[in-house]
Chains A and B, each alone.
Chain A
C-alpha cells in the first residue's frame, strides 16, 4: 500500500493560538479516511492546509508525493475539493459550471456522465441560484470529481441533504472509492463516518484524540453490548450469567436481556445452541460511535 497523504506534526496558528496543534496521520490509497470532531476543532483548517488553501506554520505534509506549499499547482491538477459554505454565481447554469470547471483540468471526467450520476441531468439548464440545497450540494460533489482526481476532500459532504439523499450520497461515495479514488471526509455526523470510513481521526482542540477504524474506536472506548432475544423454550438464566464476558442477565416477561463485553454474544449463542434452545427476535445492540466519541473525548459533539 502507498500513502496518498502523509502528515507529520502539522501546526497552524492564528494570533499565537494553535488551531491545528501538531497532528500526524497518513491515508492509504483507496481509503475513505474520516476526520471527525465538533465545530471549531480545527478540521477544516487542517484539510485546508493539505489542499494548499492555507499555509501551514509547522510540520511536513506530502499529498500524492507533493508538498502543497511549494507544489500547489501540480497538486491541484490531481485533487478534487468540496468546500464548506461556498456558493457559485447565481446566474451560472449547472451545465456551464461543470463545463467551466472541467476546462481547468488536463484530463477531465465526462461532465455529462457526472450530471447523470449525481441526479442533476434534469437541472443542466438551471441557474445555480434556483437549485435546492440538496441539488447545490450534489453539484459541488460533482465539481469536486470533474477533474478526474486521484484524491478528493469532502468537507461536510451531506450538509443540507435530507435522509434519503444522504444515504444515496453515501452509496455514490462508496462507488467513487471503488473506482480508485481516495477520499478524505470531514464530518461531524457520527452515522456518516461510521457508515463510510475505513479509518477515522477524532480531532479535538486541534489535536488527534483518537485514530482507528470506527469499530476499533468503539472497542477501545470499552463498554457493554446488549443482546436481546425471546427463548422458545424455558431457559436457566444462571447458565448464561457465568459465561465469559457476560455482565448481567435480566428477563422481562418473555424477553431476556444479556449485557456483556468483547465476544460474549458468540458465547451466549453457542450456549443456547448446546442447550437446544431456539430464540426469536434476536437483536444485538452495539455501542455506537456516538457513545464511543463521548467516552473518548469526555464530551458530546455539540458542546
Chain B
C-alpha cells in the first residue's frame, strides 16, 4: 500500500476509535429522526412544511446536521489538533507531504458523512416507511455539494487555527448560526422573507433545500446547487491560500 491509502486506513481506524465523534456523527442524527418521527401524526404531509411528510422533513434535517457536524466542527477540530501536536510538521519531513494526510482525512470524513446519510435514509424507511429520495440523482448531487461546501468552510477555520481548542471555537461559531439560518431549528417556511433569503445563501441552507426537494421528487432549484458549488470553490481556494502546516 502506498502512503495515501495507508494514511487513509489509519485515519479511518482512528476515527472509529473516537467514541464521542461516532455518537455525534452516527448516533445523534438517527436519534433525532427517531425522536421526531414518533410524534403522533408526524408521518403525514405537513401543511407548514410545504406538504412534505414530517418524517421526511426531519430526515432531511438529519442529513443537514451530519454535514454541519462533520464539516464545521469535525474538520477544524481534527486539523487544528494535528497542527497543534506537530503531526502535520512531522509528515513534512517525510516523502509524504502533510497535504496527503489532509486529503486522506477529508476522504474518511466524506465517507463517514455518506454512511451516516445512508443510515438516516434506512432508519426512516424502516421505522416510518418514508420512501427513499424520489430523485436519487439530484439527492446524491445535493449531498455531494453539501459535503464539498461545508467541508470547505470548515477548512477555512482549520487552515489558520493554531490549536484544537481555537479550531473548535471557530467551528462552533460557524455551526450555530448556520444551523439557525439554514432552517434546522425551525423550518424556513416559518421564517421571514429576508431571513429565508439570507438562509438560502448559506451552504447549509442551500443543502437543506436541495435535499428536501430531491427527497420529495422535485429537481432542486439551480441556485441552491450553484450557491453550494460557489461556497466550495471560494472557501476551498481561500483555505488553500491561508493554510499553515505549522503553528508558527
Contact = CB atoms under 8 A, between A and B. Distances in A.
A51 B93 contact: yes
B6 A103 contact: yes
Interface stretch (B22-30, B84-92, B169-177): B84-92
Contacts of A103: 1-3, 6
B94 A53 contact: no
A21 to B, nearest CB: 19
B89 A88 contact: no
A100 B96 CA distance: 11
Interface of B is mostly: helix
A88 B87 contact: yes
Given A52-B93, A86-B90, A92 B85 contact: no
A83 B18 CA distance: 27
B14 interface: yes
Interface in B128-152: none
Interface residues of A, number: 26
A25 interface: no
A105 interface: yes
B10 A96 contact: yes
A76 B6 contact: no
B3 A104 contact: yes
B161 to A, nearest CB: 17
Contacts of A105: 94-95
Contacts of A83: 86, 89-90, 93
A264 B30 CA distance: 85
A105 B1 CA distance: 11
A88 B85 contact: yes
B95 A104 contact: yes
Contact of B86 (A76, A87, A100, A101): A87
A89 B93 contact: no
Interface string B1-41: 11100110010011001100000000000000000000000
B85 to A, nearest CB: 4
Contacts of B92: 52-53
A91 interface: yes
A48 to B, nearest CB: 9
Given A86-B85, A92-B10, A103-B2, A76 B90 contact: no
Interface string A66-110: 000000010011010101011111011000100111011110000
A144 to B, nearest CB: 9
Given A86-B87, A87-B87, A103-B1, A77 B95 contact: yes
A87 B93 contact: no
A83 B245 CA distance: 14
Contacts of B96: 104
Given A86-B86, A87-B85, A87-B87, A76 B95 contact: yes
B170 to A, nearest CB: 21
Contacts of A147: 94-95
29 contacts: A51-B93, A52-B93, A53-B89, A53-B92, A53-B246, A73-B95, A76-B93, A76-B95, A83-B86, A83-B90, A86-B85, A86-B86, A86-B87, A86-B90, A87-B86, A87-B87, A88-B85, A88-B87, A88-B90, A91-B14, A96-B13, A100-B6, A100-B10, A103-B1, A103-B2, A103-B3, A104-B94, A143-B90, A147-B94
Given A87-B85, A91-B14, 5 more contacts: A53-B89, A92-B10, A96-B10, A104-B3, A147-B95
Interface of A: 51-53, 73, 76-77, 79, 81, 83, 85-89, 91-92, 96, 99-101, 103-106, 143, 147
